[in-house]
Amino acid sequence: MALPSEDLESSGEKIRRRNNNSSVAYSVEDRETQWTSWLIPLFVVANIAMFVVEMYVNNCPKHVKNRGFVPIDERKCVARFLGRFSFQPLRENPLFGPSSSTLEKLGALNWTKVVQQHQEWRLVSCMWLHAGIIHLLANMLSLIFIGIRLEQHFGFVRIGTIYLLSGFGGSILSSLFIQNYISVGASGALFGLLGAMLSELITNWTIYTNKAGDACLFFSHLIFYFYFTSMFG
């Protein structure tokens, strides 16, 4: 049975419109998909647990007591009521944390040990260590504010990959440029998440209805992190 050409064209146009509408609806639905954030909170818990391990291994009262050559006033641990979890004297660590020897024992980044003693595992372990409770607080607040939002939008696989690869890359750069000191912290991983957040902002700029608000959100996170890192190291 033959159909007029006009009927064929009109039916084809209807099909194309239906397909276009369905594709637009799918893209809007896909864009509004929200993932449940669980990996970033897990990273936060892991970092806090690792800091507790640091303080347990450090055991300030025991190690400071054995330093007979140090003046008594400089041998007093901070928050001594915490027992072996008390902090090193502020002259030694103003960030309220363990000694540098404890950090080095647990895997702090040290150029000599990585390059000359082939302890490459330190490039990963240093990401989970922090120099003090202030350092930990600054990094974890930044991780919560930035990471949870990104994980809700892009899922745990992408954000977890960005976090780990950025942290590993940051460790490599630190080992190249900071050779006379040990290095710890998740700064490299956090900068990777900030870069991902900026990339999302630029890529999806045209679909944002509140451009000024989203831009302010990004820069507020950036200023917050830089403020804490510049104030407390």
Identify the CATH number of the domain in which residue 90 sits. 1.20.1540
In a domain, 21, yes or no: no
Task: Decide if 8 is inside a domain.
Answer: no
Tokens coding 62 = 């025991």
Interval 210-228 mean pLDDT: 66
Residue 138 resides in a domain: yes
HEC letters along the chain: CCCCHHHHHHHHHHHHHHHHHHHHHHHHHHHCCCCCCCHHHHHHHHHHHHHHHHHHHHCHHHHHHCCCCCCHHHHCCECHHHHHHCECCCCCCCCCCCCHHHHHHHCCECHHHHHCCCCCCHHHHHHHCCCCHHHHHHHHHHHHHHHHHHHHHHCHHHHHHHHHHHHHHHHHHHHHHCCCCCECCCHHHHHHHHHHHHHHHHHCHHHCCCHHHHHHHHHHHHHHHHHHHHHHC
Q: Answer with the residue of higher pLDDT: 173 or 202.
A: 173
Residue 22 lies in a domain: no
**Averaged over 221-228, what is the pLDDT?**
66
111 domain-assigned: yes
pLDDT band at 62 (very low <50, low <70, confident <90, very high): confident
| pLDDT, tens only, 99-121 | 999 999 999 999 999 989 999 99
- With pLDDT > 70 as the criterion, what percentage of the chain qualifies? 70
Which domain, by its residues, includes 226?
A: 36-232
Give domain status of residue 28, yes or no: no
Question: Of all residues in the chain, what percent carry a pLDDT higher than 90?
Answer: 50
138 pLDDT more than 50: yes
Inter-residue contact 47 to 163 (CB < 8 Å): no
| Residue 186 CB contacts under 8 Å (≥ 6 apart), including other chains | 47, 127, 128, 130, 139, 143, 167
- Report the domain count for the chain: 1
Model confidence at 28: pLDDT above 50: no
Residues 6 or more apart in contact with residue 36 via CB below 8 angstroms: 152
Q: Is the pTM of this model over 0.85?
A: no
Q: What is the pLDDT of residue 4?
A: 52
Amino acid in position 185: G
For residue 2, tell me if it sits in a domain.
Answer: no
Q: Please indicate, yes or no, if residue 3 is contained in any of the structural domains.
A: no
69 pLDDT more than 80: no
**Mean pLDDT of all residues in 113-130:** 94
Average pLDDT over residues 144-159: 91
Which of 29-33, 103-107, 142-146, 181-185 is predicted most confidently?
Answer: 103-107
In this predicted structure, what is the pLDDT of residue 38?
A: 95
